[in-house]
Structure 1
Amino acid sequence: MGYTEGPRRIVRPDAQELTGRGLLGPRTAAAPGGPAPGLARRELHQPRSGQLLDAVRRLDAGLDDQACRSLAEWVREQYTTSYGSVPLGFVARCHLGPPYVDHQLSLFHVIVRHFAPAEQMPEPFSAARMLARSGGYAYVEVHADGLILPVLEDGTVVRP
């Protein structure tokens, strides 16, 4: 018995299914009439401003709780208006010295946590750890959909 090819059917997953798999960010799968998926991704790849780079650096500078919260709110607002998506947080090299080599910064809880080389970094931040340790980036953004975006010292975003 020979194989005969039947009619083909194209199946496309809906936006909710893609979002659940982390293939589309929360902004792109939201409401009808929102930006196309490619548009949101293009916005995320725009260079980061000098002010934003400085603000992210200052979040690890030992600010008091109120100043840190205010600065984190400003950073969230900048990401929302300029790039259309706010990262969960950042991973960067730590300048405190031994035993710390890197740190995780969460914008939503405004938590800065420093890590020694042998300590496990929680998911999804651990995926950005080796990039941050390389020293080639100002910081590495970690987004809710699993997107990891390294940012160079001049604000250029490196495409994955």
Structure 2
Amino acid sequence: MPRSMLRTPQNQTQSQTVNNNILSATRNQEHEQQQQQMDKMKLDQLLRKKRSKEYMEALHKLDAGGHVHNQNKVNDIIRTIQEEFPEVQLGGVLLGYVSICYLGKPYEVHTLDLTGGIIEHYKTGETLPDGLEKARTIAMRGGYEFIEVYKDCCRAVSASGYVSVIPG
């Protein structure tokens, strides 16, 4: 008995189902990529906004040597940072802060590491931890109050609260 050259409806249905599943998965993946790009654009736009007076004042307190030993004051600063960006979970995105240290020699810069909630003052030549080193030269050049260090860039904040984005 000769075999039919045409597929049976059942085979066509199975084939169509497989094709539909592949198309659906591809569309979902494209949608997720578009959503991630939109989320990144919104985050970037939010992080470019001018910083508030309270935020600026809190970060000025970093240079006071007593905060190194007072975790409650460090926690207050971190709380102010979180209040500045309530719509964003900054953990994993914002690594920390770097600015010029005015405690005098031998100190050059100080940092606030958000992961550990630690303020640290660094001497000339000491390497900054956890990706913060990339902000040191920007801070030392001057012209900015502090540098926010993110995974993908640095955001240099002027005395008036305006933000400049520096890739890298």
Matched, 1:43 2:23: no
TM-score norm. by structure 2 comes to: 0.68
2:123 counterpart of 1:116 = yes
Residue 72 of structure 2 is aligned to residue 69 of structure 1: no
CA distance in 2, matches of 1:46, 1:85: 16
Q: Deviations over 1:19-77 (max 9, x none)?
A: xxxxxxxxx74xxxx95321211111111111101111113422322122133123223
- TM superposition shift of 1:80: 3.2
Q: Which moved more, 1:101-110 or 1:147-156?
A: 101-110
The structure in which a higher percent of residues are strand is 2
Determine if contact 1:60/1:112 at 8 Å carries over to the other structure.
no
Q: Displacement of 1:113 after TM fit? A: 1.2
**Percent of residue pairs bearing the same amino acid type:** 27
**What is the RMSD of the two structures over their aligned residues, measured on CA atoms?**
2.4
Question: 1:10: which partner in 2?
Answer: none
Q: Deviations over 1:82-125 (max 9, x none)?
A: xx353221000001000001111112322111111111112310
Structure 1 residues 36, 68: closer, same or farther in 2, change over 3 A? closer
Q: Secondary structure of the residue that 1:47 maps to in structure 2?
A: coil
Normalized per residue, the structure richer in helix is 2
Matches of 1:137 and 1:155, distance apart in 2: 9
- Number of residues of Structure 1 aligned to a counterpart in Structure 2: 129
Structure of higher CA gyration radius: 2
3-state secondary structure, aligned to 2:165 = coil
Map 1:25-104 → 2, pairs under 5 A: 29=36, 36-61=39-64, 62-63=66-67, 64-81=70-87, 84=88, 86=90, 87-104=94-111
Letter in 1 for 2:163: V
Contact (CA 8 Å) 1:124, 1:146: kept in 2 or not? no
1:9 maps to which residue?
none
Q: Distance in 2 between matches of 1:85 and 1:131?
A: 25
Distance 1:69 1:36 in 2: 28
Indicate conservation of the 8 Å contact 2:109/2:123, yes or no: yes
AA aligned opposite 2:143: G
Structure 1 pair 85/136, CA: closer, same or farther in 2 (3 Å)? Answer: farther
**The residue matched to 2:85 in structure 1 has which SS?**
helix
